[in-house]
Structures are given as structure tokens and as C-alpha cells.
């Protein structure tokens, strides 16, 4: 099973005392490619530490899908676009999903990665 890793950035643009006090991002390696995205699900605000990384579909092209383990909101790991949900949520997740379904489907924030002098760089919004 592919695991999502959190990397604390301390980047002021990502700091949020309520849901992201360390400015963390999620990083996952899938078949030799590394993807970087927000540390919390935009639908339910639960941390993506236990998110499922699923194979690509026609909807995502060659990019794997990221599925929130709580509300089952599913996203393209490269673009962050909301894609067809991968499965049903549990009882509590179902309630949250029901409450959130009336709202606009917010994409998952994704970040481009680079390398300079042996260090990994994350392209963050200002």
C-alpha cells in the first residue's frame, strides 16, 4: 500500500492554526513519480495522512487518484481536480459528505516540485 507522507514546511502561506499549524504538505511517490498536495481534504478538512492512492482512470489520464479516507472525496493527484468518488464513506463520513455535497466541489491544492543543488523545492502560492 502506498503511504502519504507529511512534510512540515513552516511556510507562512500554508500555516493555519486550526488545521495546519506546521504548514505541512502531503507527498506521495507513485510508480517513480512524486506528487505533492495539501495536507487536508478540501471537502471535510480531515488530514490526508491515511488517504488512499488509487490507480489512474480515464478521467485522470496517467495521474493517480487521491481518495480521502474519511469522506471519500477523490482528486486527480497532479491537477487537484475533483474526480468521481472512489467509494462510500463510513457513517460519520457519510454525514459529512452529505453536508458538504450541497457546496461547490473544491479542488485539492497541488504543488509543483523541483530540485536545486540536491534539495527538493516546493512551488508554493504567495
76-121: pLDDT as tens digits: 999 999 998 776 545 554 555 555 544 568 999 999 998 888 888 9
CA separation, residue 7 to residues 10, 24, 43, 97 (Å): 9, 5, 21, 27
Distance CA 14, CA 24 (A): 7
Give the pLDDT confidence of 19-43 residue by residue, as tens digits. Answer: 899 999 999 999 999 999 999 999 8
Domains of the chain by start residue, with CATH = 5-123 (2.102.10.10)
Residues 41 and 70: beta-carbon distance below 8 Å? yes
Task: Report residue 99 as a C-alpha cell.
Answer: 453536508
Q: What pLDDT shows up at residue 118?
A: 85
The model's pTM is 0.83
Mean pLDDT of 8-29: 92
pLDDT per position as a tens digit, 38-87: 999 998 889 999 999 999 999 999 999 999 998 889 999 999 999 987 76
Instruction: Determine the pLDDT at residue 125.
Output: 75
Amino acid at each position: 500500500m502506498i503511504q502519504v507522507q507529511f512534510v512540515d514546511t513552516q511556510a507562512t502561506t500554508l500555516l493555519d492554526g486550526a488545521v495546519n499549524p506546521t504548514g505541512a504538505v502531503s507527498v506521495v511517490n507513485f510508480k517513480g513519480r512524486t506528487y505533492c498536495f495539501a495536507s487536508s481534504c478540501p471537502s471535510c478538512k480531515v488530514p490526508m495522512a491515511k488517504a488512499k492512492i488509487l490507480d489512474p482512470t480515464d478521467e485522470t489520464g496517467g495521474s493517480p487518484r487521491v481518495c480521502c479516507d474519511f469522506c471519500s472525496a477523490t482528486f486527480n493527484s497532479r491537477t487537484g481536480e475533483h474526480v468521481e468518488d472512489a467509494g462510500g464513506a463510513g457513517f460519520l463520513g457519510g454525514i459529512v459528505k452529505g453536508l458538504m455535497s450541497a457546496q461547490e466541489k473544491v479542488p485539492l491544492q497541488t504543488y509543483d516540485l523541483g530540485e536545486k543543488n540536491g534539495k527538493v523545492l516546493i512551488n508554493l502560492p504567495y
